[in-house]
Each structure stands twice: as structure tokens, then as C-alpha cells.
Amino acid sequence: MTGLRYVYAVCRPFGTPLQAELTGIGGAPPALLHHHGLVAVVSTVPEADFSEEALKAHLEDLDWLSAAARAHEGVVDALTTVTTPLPLRLATVFRDDSAVRTMIEAREDHFRSLLDRLHDRVEWGVKVYLEAGPAESADTAQAPAPARPASGRDYLRRRRESSHAQEEKWQRAERFAHGLHERLAERAEEFRLHPAQNPALSGTRGQNVLNAAYLVSRKHSEEFVELVDRTKDEAAGIRVELTGPWAAYSFTGEAKS
């Protein structure tokens, strides 16, 4: 079967070995391709799955994409424990090792600049959601059904009151998210504000108010995490989620997939 070279990330040489049981796309173990003082982390993938035409078909297959993304991120996550990797886009493939070396040479200055900037730094993700608080949810569950509106005017009044209450909750959540972001940004070296997630697409509870990534040095990561943890109970009906540490996907110019 003809194979292509799949590239997960580029990094500087490192002395700590990767996990012996680590596998990448299709179960293939990753290998290190050294060139010009840089390292491309690669594995062999079947051309039948990663040719241009095959990839077009796979882009319509969410199960295939999810499995490939998990394998890709698994290799990058393993690299993050031993070095500072620059993750490449999902499904970055080349004909052979020679083509990978050509890519490194073409982007060498860019890679070195990024590696200098991101050295010993990781990405933390913080999301803030507006949701019904426990007390509010319990009250809603126990409350009797509202009486039938006496008139159209009464119905419109109730609608206005409900809309006003929801708007107040949203404004409170926005103020909370803004304040949290300002505190986190002070402790981060860089940040990225991503578009709010659509709950229907993400499958998460609540309305996404803040979706941000923060670049933090490893030595300051513990206090960054502690700051997020301290805010989690500051406001009823607001949920704060922290993810990481990740490779600096949001700060390399490469999409996470």
C-alpha cells in the first residue's frame, strides 16, 4: 500500500523519549525527522485515505474526522509534556521525507521565530456560560404552571417582564465574563478571543458568553489555574470551564481543526 508522510508538529530537538505505546493516525507510531536543527514529528498514513480526493470525501464523514482529530491531538499532547511543539493543521501530508524537509526549509525562519516566542509556554482555554442556577432550576421545577393570561395586554406584559429578566441575566454574565477576562489577561502573555460557541452545535449547556485562549508560561500556570478556580462560585447561574494545558494552537497561526 502506498504511504504518505503525515506531519503532526514541528519542534526543536528534545532528549526525553516519547511514550513507547504512543500511536498516531491509523495506529502508526510517530517518528522524528530531523532537519536543519528542527524536528518534524511524522508517521506514515495510507494514500487511499489521505490523497486529495480521499480527503474531500472524508470531510463529509464526521466519525472519520473525529477519530483523526483525536489521534492528531493525542500525539501533540504527548509532545507538549516533553517540549514546545508547533501543531500543524489536521491532515497535513507530504509525498515523502524529502518533501517534508523542503517544507521545513521554506518555513524555517517562521518556525524558529514561533518556537522562540512560545518556548516553555502553554495554552489554557476558558469558557463562560450563562445557565439557570440550581436554586432557579429547582424553583422552576416546583412552581405551579402560570395562570392563563386574562387578556392580550396581560400576555404582552408577561412577555416584556420575561424578556427584561433574561436581558438582565445576560448583562450580568457579560460583566462577569469581562471582569474575569481582564484578570486572566493580566496573568497571560497573550490571549485570543474566539467566537461564542453555538450550543446547538457544541452540545454544551447554556449560552456561551466568553470563549478565550490564554498563552501562559509553565511556571505561572498553577496560579493561573487557581485564579480561574476561585471565580467558579462567584456568580449564581454562571458556569466557568477551564481546559488545558494545550500546545499553543491559538497562537501559531495553524487551525486546531
The pLDDT score that the predictor gives to residue 137 is 44
* pLDDT tens, position by position, 45-58: 999 999 989 998 88
The answer to whether residue 256 is domain-embedded is: no
Residues 247 and 129 in one domain: yes
| 118, 138, 158 - which closes a domain | 118
Report the chain's C-alpha Rg in angstroms: 24
Q: Where are the beta strands (DSSP E) in the chain?
A: 3-11, 31-35, 38-46, 86-87, 93-94, 121-130, 190-193, 207-217, 238-246
* pLDDT tens, position by position, 203-224: 788 999 999 999 999 999 999 9
Domain span holding position 182: 121-251
How far is 132 from 170, CA to CA, in rounded Å? Answer: 11
Residues 103 and 170 in one domain: no
Nearest CA among 21, 86, 75, 18 for reference residue 45: 75
Domains: count for the chain: 2
Residue 257: is its pLDDT beyond 90?
A: no
Tally of CA atoms within 13 A in the half-sphere of 69 that contains its CB: 11
Residue 158: is its pLDDT beyond 70?
A: no
Give the CATH number, domain containing residue 245.
3.30.70
Q: Looking at 2-11, 155-164, 197-206, which range is the least confident one?
A: 155-164
Residues 131 and 245 in one domain: yes
Q: Looking at 96-105, 147-156, 175-184, which range is the least confident one?
A: 147-156
State the pTM of this model. 0.80
Residues 151 and 90 in one domain: no
The pLDDT score that the predictor gives to residue 146 is 55
The answer to whether residue 24 is domain-embedded is: yes
